[in-house]
A and B are shown apart, each in its own frame.
Chain A
Amino acid sequence: MFGVLMITLLLTISLVGSNMDTILKQGIIYQVRAEITENTSIVQGFNDPEEFEKFVQQKIDERIKTLGLDTPWYSPQRLGYTMYKILILDFGNATFLISDSGSSNVGEIIFEKMPKTILLFTTATIIISIIGIVLGAASSNKIGSKIDRMTSTFAVISSSFPVWWVGMLMIFVFAFVYQIFPARATPNIASDDPGYFLALLYHMTLPVITIVLIGFGAWAYLVRNFMVGIMQEDFITAKKTMGISKKKIVYSHALRNAAPPIVTILALSLSGSLGGAIITEAVFDWPGMGRLYFEAISVMDLPVIIGSTYILTVLFLVSIFIADLLYGYFDPRVRTSN
C-alpha cells in the first residue's frame, strides 16, 4: 500500500514537476530583482547598466543554486527531498490560493476544506445506504413485485444521469424557479459566526438531495442482489422450515449475512465519491476539497494540486484498507487459519 502511495506521488510530481520548476525560477528572478532595486545603495554603486545586469544574473544563479534548482526536478536528491517533505505532510506554500483564515500554507488550506467535503459526502452516503438497505431488503423480500421492479428500473435509469447535471437541474428548479434553497452552497456569513454551522447545513440540503437521488437506486439494487443470493442458501431454507416468519428472516438473518459485502462497498463508495466530489462541488460551489482542487487546477497552483492529490490518494487507500479489515471482521470465512 505504501508502495502505491509512493508511485502515485511520483506520477503526480513527474507530471507537474517541470512546470513547477519554471514557476519557481521565475519567482526567484522576480524576487532577486525586487530585492536589488529596492536597495538603492547597490544600484548607485554601478555606472554601467551591463555590469549591473551581470551582477543581478549572478545573484539569481546563486539563489537558484542554493535552493537546489540548478539540478532538474528528476534528479534523485531533489525527488527524494520533495517526496520526503510531502510524506511528512509539508506541502509548502500555495502560489495563489489562500485559506479562509488567510494562510497560504497548503496543509492548512486542505485541512480547512476537508471536513466540509467529509461532512457532505458522509451525510449523503449514510442516507443513501439507509434508504438503499431498506429498499433493497424490501424488494428482495418480494422478488418480481411492484417495489422490486420499480427499484431495479430506478437503479438503471438514475445511474446513467451524471450527478452534476442533475445538480444543475436541481439548482435551476429549487433555487431559481421555486426559491427554496440557495443556489450557491457556500454560506455568506463568516466561518466563526455561531450560526455558521446551521447555515452550512441549510446550504448542504440541495447537494445532499441530489447525491442521494442519484445514488440510492443503485444501492438498493446492489443490496437486493446480495440478499437474493443469501436467501437461496441452505440455512435460510432451514429457518423457513422451522417456521420463522419470512419478514424476520429477511430483516434479521439474511441482512446480517449480507453485511460484509455491503459494508465493504460502503467504504469503497465513500472514498470513490471523494474523487467525484470535484465536479459535484464545482456545480454547487460547496467549499470543500473538490472545489479547492478545481480552483487549483484552473490557476495552476501546483503545490495545492500535489497536496490534494496526495491526500485524496491517502484517503482512498485507507478506505480500501478499512474495507478489507471490515470484510475479514464480518465474514468469518475470510479469516485465515493462523
Chain B
Amino acid sequence: MSSVSTNEIKREFLKSKMGLTGVFILLGLVLVSIITISTIPVSTFQEWNNPEKWILYPKTSVPSWVNLLSSEKIPEHKIIDAEIFESNKDEIFLVSQQFGVSFEYDDFPSDFIFVTKTKYSDSHLVQIKVIRPDGIILEILSTSLPHSEIDTIHNQRYFSTDSMIKKNLNAYKDKFQFDFSIGATEIIFSDLNENQVQKGNYIFIMDTYGIGEPAQVLESKMILGGKTFGLMGTDELRRDLAVGLLWGTPLALFIGISVSIGSVVVGLVYGVYSGYKGKKTDEAMMRFNDVIYALPALPFLIILAVTISNSIFLMIGFLMIFSWVGIAKVSRSMSLQIKTRQYVEAAKIMGQKDSKIIFRHIIPQLLPYAFASIAISVPAAITTEAGLSFLGLGDPSFPTWGQILHDANTYGATAQGFWWWIVPPGILIAITGLAFVFIGNALDVIVNPKLKR
C-alpha cells in the first residue's frame, strides 16, 4: 500500500470530473438542507402527520408547473389572503375584505371556501359579492354573524356549496344564456353566453356591517379549489409534498453520513486492532466478524425495528451493526502490511503503547481509504433506511423519502397514476446516492493504486 499525501489527493481529485460532479451535487443537497432548516419552520415538519394542519390544501393535486407543459391550463389551488379596508358612515362601520384572483385557466375551480375568524360584539351583517371581469356584480350571499352581547371570537366558514348561494344566483338567471342546473362555481366563473370559463380578474368582496363598533378581522382567507398545487403537488392526505421532500433531504444526509461514519470508524479501529495484535486475539475477533457477516442483514433489521423500536436514532445504530464488517476485514489486512514496516517496529521497540502506535502510526495511513469507504457506504445506508421505511417500519414522525413512498404505496398511488407522488422521492434517493458514489469512486481510484490504469 503506497501512502498518498493529502495534497496529492486534492490535486488528483480536482482533476476527476466524476468526483467534482459528486461534490457539486452534494453541495447542492447541503444547500437545500440548510435552506429547508432555516426557512421552513420546524413546526411544519412536526405536524407532518397532523391532518388538521393540511385541511386547507387540496387532495392529490398535481404540481402546478404541469400547466407550463400542457396547452390546457388546469386550475391551480389558491389560498388567497384578504386585503382589508375599513370605513365608517353614520355610525355604520364597514369592514371590507377583498380577495383578488386572476383566473386564467381552462377549467372551473372545484369550489371556494371563505375561512374567517372575527372578534366582535352585538350583531353584524355579512355580504359576499363578486365583481367579474365583464363588470357584472353578483351578490352571492348575505347572512349575519350570530348575535352576542359580549366580545366573542367567532370562526366561520362559507362554502360555495351553500344552498343560499345557489338561491341568490337564481336572481341573475336572465343574464345567462344557459341552464342553471349546475353548481354555483360553474355559474360564477362562467361566460354569459355559454357555460365556459370566463378568464380574467375576479374580485370577491366580503363586507361586514356593524353598528357602533367594527368587527375585528383576525384571520381571513379564501380558498379557491383547484387541481394543481405548489411545486410538488399534494398527496392523498392533502400534505404539501414539497415540504416533505425538502425535509427528507437533511434527514437522508444525516442518516447516510452518520451511519457510514460510525461504521467506518468502528470497522477501522476493530480491524486495525485485530490485525496489529495478531495471534489469538486476531483469530477470535475475526471469527466474531464472520458471525456478523453471515447474519442476513435485512431480516434482522426488520426484527430489530419491530421488537425494539423504530426510532430514527436507534435505526441508525442498527444499520451500523451490519455495515462495519467489510471495512474491518479490509483494514485488518492493510494493518497486517503496515505493522511490518520499519517505523512501526521501531516505535514498538521504543516501548510505545499499543494504542498510541495504532492511532498515531497505523490509522493515519489508512485515512484516505477510510474517506473513500465513508463516501461509498452512504448510499447503501440511505437506500436501506428508505427500504425499511417503505415497508412501514420507519419512524413515522419523520417525513423521510422512504416514508413518503410508503404512504404512496399504501394509498395506491401507482394504480391511480399519482406520478408526482412516486417519482420525486426515488429520484432524490438516487441523486443523493449518486453524489456519494461519484465522490467515493473518484477517491477510490486515487487511493487504490490497483485501480489506476
Contacts and interface: CB of A to CB of B under 8 A. Distances in A.
Contacts of B298: 275-276, 278-279
Interface string A35-70: 000000000000000000000000000000000000
B302 A297 contact: yes
A168 interface: yes
Given A16-B303, A283-B409, A309-B303, 9 more contacts: A8-B294, A15-B304, A160-B433, A161-B426, A183-B414, A228-B453, A297-B306, A297-B393, A305-B303
Contact of A156 (B296, B405, B409, B434): B434
A165 interface: yes
A243 B98 CA distance: 89
B386 A313 contact: no
A78 B225 CA distance: 63
A168 B415 contact: no
Nearest to B290: A4
Contact of A169 (B302, B387, B423, B441): B423
B419 interface: yes
B296 A183 contact: no
The 5 A-B residue pairs with the shortest CB-CB distance, nearest first, are A160-B433, A165-B426, A275-B298, A172-B414, A4-B294
Interface string B287-329: 0001100111111101110111000000000000000000000
A255 B379 CA distance: 31
B417 interface: yes
B interface: dominant SS: helix
Contacts of A313: 294-296
Interface string B358-398: 00000000000000000000010001001100111100000
B438 interface: yes
Nearest to A279: B387
A298 interface: yes
A7 interface: yes
B437 A156 contact: yes
A293 interface: yes
Interface string A134-175: 000000000100000000000011011110111011011001
Given A283-B409, A309-B296, A172 B422 contact: yes
B179 to A, nearest CB: 36
Nearest to A317: B294
Contacts of B306: 297, 300
B429 interface: yes
A316 interface: yes
A320 interface: yes
Contact of B294 (A16, A159, A320): A320
Contacts of A12: 300, 303
Contacts of B405: 165, 168
Given A7-B291, A172-B417, A172-B422, A275 B297 contact: yes
B430 interface: yes
A3 interface: yes
Contacts, number: 122
A162 B437 contact: no
B450 to A, nearest CB: 8
Contacts of A300: 306
Contacts of B425: 165
A interface: dominant SS: helix
Interface string A276-316: 10110011000000000110011010000100110011001
A12 B296 CA distance: 11
- Looking at B295, B390, B438, the one whose CB has the most chain A CB atoms below 10 A away is B295
Contacts of A228: 453
Contact of B295 (A1, A8, A177): A8
A12 B451 CA distance: 40
18 contacts: A11-B300, A159-B433, A160-B433, A161-B430, A164-B387, A165-B405, A165-B426, A166-B426, A168-B426, A169-B422, A225-B451, A228-B453, A274-B296, A297-B306, A297-B393, A305-B303, A316-B296, A320-B294
Interface of A: 1, 3-4, 7-8, 11-12, 15-16, 19, 143, 156-157, 159-162, 164-166, 168-169, 171-172, 175-177, 183, 225, 228, 274-276, 278-279, 282-283, 293-294, 297-298, 300, 305, 308-309, 312-313, 316-317, 320
A317 B293 CA distance: 10
- Looking at A166, A177, A279, A300, the one whose CB has the most chain B CB atoms below 10 A away is A279
A67 B379 CA distance: 48
Interface of B: 290-291, 294-300, 302-304, 306-308, 379, 383, 386-387, 390-393, 405, 408-409, 414-415, 417, 419, 422-423, 425-426, 429-430, 433-434, 437-438, 441, 451, 453
Given A309-B300, A312-B296, A313-B295, A160 B415 contact: no
Contact of B426 (A7, A169, A317): A169
Contacts of B392: 298
Nearest to B429: A162
Contacts of B303: 12, 15-16, 297, 305, 309
B417 A162 contact: no
B391 A294 contact: yes
A279 B422 contact: no
A168 B387 contact: no
Contact of A160 (B299, B300, B304, B437): B437
Contacts of B307: 15-16, 19
Contacts of A293: 299, 302
B409 A157 contact: no
Contacts of A275: 296-299
Contacts of B302: 278, 293, 297
B451 to A, nearest CB: 8
A177 B433 CA distance: 28
Contacts of B294: 1, 4, 8, 313, 316-317, 320
Given A169-B423, A308-B299, A313-B295, A157 B414 contact: no
Contacts of A143: 453
Contacts of A8: 294-296
A164 to B, nearest CB: 6
A176 B43 CA distance: 37
Contacts of B430: 157, 160-162
A15 to B, nearest CB: 5
A198 to B, nearest CB: 25
Given A309-B303, A320-B294, A162 B426 contact: yes
Nearest to A283: B409
A305 B433 CA distance: 31
Contacts of A320: 294
Nearest to A167: B414
B379 to A, nearest CB: 5
Contacts of A1: 294
A228 B387 CA distance: 34
Contacts of A294: 391
A320 B291 CA distance: 12
Nearest to B425: A165
Given A228-B453, A293-B302, A305-B303, A164 B295 contact: no
